[in-house]
Amino acid sequence: MSAVLERVLLPRLGFAAAWREAARGLLLRRVPPEQVDWQRADDSPGLPLFGANADTPVIGDEEFRMPRVLLGLIEDVLCANVPDRFSLPYRAVWRAQAERHLLGDESDPDMARVRVLSKLVHRDAHKMKAFVRFCEEASHGDRRAFAAWFEPDHFIVEATAPFFARRFGDVDWRIETPSGCAVCTNGALRFSAETQKPAALADPTEDLWRTYYTNIFNPARLKVKAMQSEMPKKYWKNLPEAGLIPGLVASAEQRVIAMRGAEATLPAARSLRMEPYQQPAAMAGDVAPDRRDLEQQILDCTRCLLHCNATQAVRGEGPDRAAIMVVGEQPGDQEDLAGSPFVGPAGRELDAAFAAAGLDRASTFVTNAVKHFKHSMRGKRRIHERPGISEIVACKWWLEQEVALVRPRIIVALGATASLAVIGNGTAITARQGQIEQSLFGPPVIVTGHPAAILRMPEAAHADRLRHELAGALRTASRAV
Ligand code: SF4
């Protein structure tokens, strides 16, 4: 066995950046993984940062090639609360230099562990986004101030805090955890190794939240195991609504019996007036999925690797029973941050086309063929990348569920990716523009260009033609229903 020659000591905060810098130096000096001892500063007090042999001469000055997907996975593994969180990623990047197909090797033990840890870290980050509960505390300035206590399983605070900074940019907040704290003041995010559990704060909105939770709790839909898997008991102690759950579960059966025995309620008069305009009966054998379940499953989806680098899955938006479903390609940069489809520049083109077609976007269901944003980094910019066939096929599962939920009478497919997902035909749109074709899911489909193509068109006349075609397709759909 080779002796350990390098000891790398990583700080408690900023460990990911420090690891990247150290790993790059080690790779440049061609130090093999078995000769590196990775440690965290507070595990080994007194050792110098970046170890004993940091002055080993650099051999060559080549750049390293690394699949972006692997880099994304590694960022996750660095946050995992396991002893090999630093050594495993280094071994993976070391091996990736020589083994071109390492990433795709499903049977490789290192890559299998990398994927498992990435998944655990993602799940922990997802739970943090779902279960952090802020309480208002005394503010020392003009802005309101909030504090929360959260106990993650992994070292995810630095990686996950930007999500809260984007979402709650108009207030000051701090999230305290046992291993450090994230503080956002006037929109500026900082981290501290010092942590202080907020004193029990009385938040007047908690009662309101408990009342709301009690009212949306549907005893007929109760599945205790599924609920506990989604909301594990370890988080309960910091959730104000958790105290209600045992009582709600215990009384669920009685409430269901009472609901069954109660008189049927009549539909509202407005619903009766709408009946003639409603869609045909459901297709035989089809069972519409529950929307909330479906949306949560999409948010948790890891069917392909696109979830690794995106902020969140972007689910379709619109009424449950929209007559028209509009399917785009995938979320863009702004959609990925906002969690809503078509809110960026392409969305504005789509809105303009809706207006030109005299169609209300809010009456349609707007979604994408692929639910996570595929991109590559150029400097600090996230550049859109077209989804691959395997990603489109993996994500078609969700599109099919959305179609089963909404049961549209007609689908408008925007661009070749949407056409491939909906019809199974991804050939050029130009020749098929405005045609009505048959979807794989049942309803007919109108094929047209994606609004992002308008933005890419250098000639104003061509851009206008695409705008005209897009509005025309929406108008045709509107007339068809
Ligand atoms: Fe799942 Fe679709 Fe996201 Fe892939 S792109 S992880 S299939 S939701």
Q: Does residue 94 share a domain with residue 40?
A: yes
Domain span including residue 330: 291-480
pLDDT at 435 > cutoff 90: no
| Ligand 1 centroid – CA 336 distance (Å) | 13
pLDDT grade for 263, boundaries at 50, 70 and 90: low
Q: Does residue 121 share a domain with residue 140?
A: no
Q: What burial letters (b/e) apply to 454-471, b meaning 16+ CB within 10 Å? A: beebeeeeebeebbebbb
What type of residue sits at position 222? L
CATH of the domain at 382: 3.40.470.10
374/385 Cα distance (integer angstroms) = 5
The burial class, CB within 10 Å (0-12 / 13-18 / 19+), for 155 is buried
| 197-252 tens-digit pLDDT | 777 666 667 777 888 888 888 888 778 888 777 778 888 877 878 788 888 888 88
pLDDT at 58 > cutoff 50: no
Give the N- to C-terminal CA distance of the chain in Å, as an integer: 72
pLDDT recorded at residue 70: 85
119/203 Cα distance (integer angstroms) = 34
Q: Does residue 319 share a domain with residue 437?
A: yes
Q: Is 200 within a domain?
A: no
Q: Is 266 within a domain?
A: no
pLDDT at 50 > cutoff 70: no
In this prediction, residues 291-308 reach a mean pLDDT of 92
Q: Does residue 16 share a domain with residue 35?
A: yes
| 170-207 tens-digit pLDDT | 899 999 998 889 999 998 999 998 888 777 666 667 77
- Of 126, 300, 304, 400, the one to substitute when testing ligand 1's pocket (max ligand atoms within 8 A of C-beta) is 304
Kindly report the backbone phi and psi dihedral angles of residue 17, in degrees, each rounded to the nearest multiple of 5, phi listed first: -65, -40
What are 24's two structure tokens? 């790059």
pLDDT recorded at residue 287: 59
Q: Does residue 227 share a domain with residue 101?
A: no
| Ligand 1 centroid – CA 307 distance (Å) | 6
Q: Is 274 within a domain?
A: no
In this prediction, residues 150-176 reach a mean pLDDT of 92
Give the end of a domain, one of 106, 127, 148.
127
Q: Does residue 77 share a domain with residue 26?
A: yes
In this prediction, residues 21-41 reach a mean pLDDT of 89
Nearest CA to ligand 1 atom 2: 395
Q: Does residue 158 share a domain with residue 120?
A: no
Q: In what order do the strands lie in the sheet with 436-438?
A: 365-368, 324-328, 410-414, 444-448, 436-438
pLDDT at 464 > cutoff 60: yes
Task: Single out the residue of 306, 314, 372, 369 nearest to residue 341, CA to CA.
Answer: 314
Q: Does residue 391 share a domain with residue 310?
A: yes
Q: Is 277 within a domain?
A: no
Q: Is 276 within a domain?
A: no
- Of 73, 122, 306, 336, the one to substitute when testing ligand 1's pocket (max ligand atoms within 8 A of C-beta) is 306
pLDDT recorded at residue 57: 37
Give the end of a domain, one of 245, 261, 277.
261
Q: Is 390 within a domain?
A: yes
Cβ(374)–Cβ(384) below 8 Å:
yes
Q: Does residue 463 share a domain with residue 314?
A: yes
Give the end of a domain, one of 70, 92, 127.
127
Least confident of 322-326, 426-430, 444-448: 426-430
Q: Does residue 398 share a domain with residue 430?
A: yes
pLDDT grade for 415, boundaries at 50, 70 and 90: very high
Q: Is 270 within a domain?
A: no
Q: Which residue has the higher pLDDT, 56 or 410?
A: 410
| DSSP bridge pairs for 437 | 445
User: Over the chain, what is the mean pLDDT?
Assistant: 85
Q: Does residue 372 share a domain with residue 300?
A: yes
pLDDT recorded at residue 76: 94
In this prediction the pTM is 0.51
pLDDT recorded at residue 72: 87
Q: Which atom of ligand 1 is nearest to the CA of 374?
A: 5
pLDDT at 104 > cutoff 50: yes
Q: Is 321 within a domain?
A: yes
Upper half-sphere CA count for residue 19 (Cβ side, 13 Å): 26
Pairing between β-strand 444-448 and β-strand 436-438 as defined by DSSP bridges:
antiparallel
pLDDT at 47 > cutoff 50: no
392/406 Cα distance (integer angstroms) = 20
Residues with CB under 6 A from ligand 1: 298, 301-304, 306-307, 313, 370-372, 391, 394-395, 398
Residue 269 CA, distance from chain mean position: 40
Q: Does residue 159 share a domain with residue 114?
A: no
Q: Please count the structural domains in the chain.
A: 4
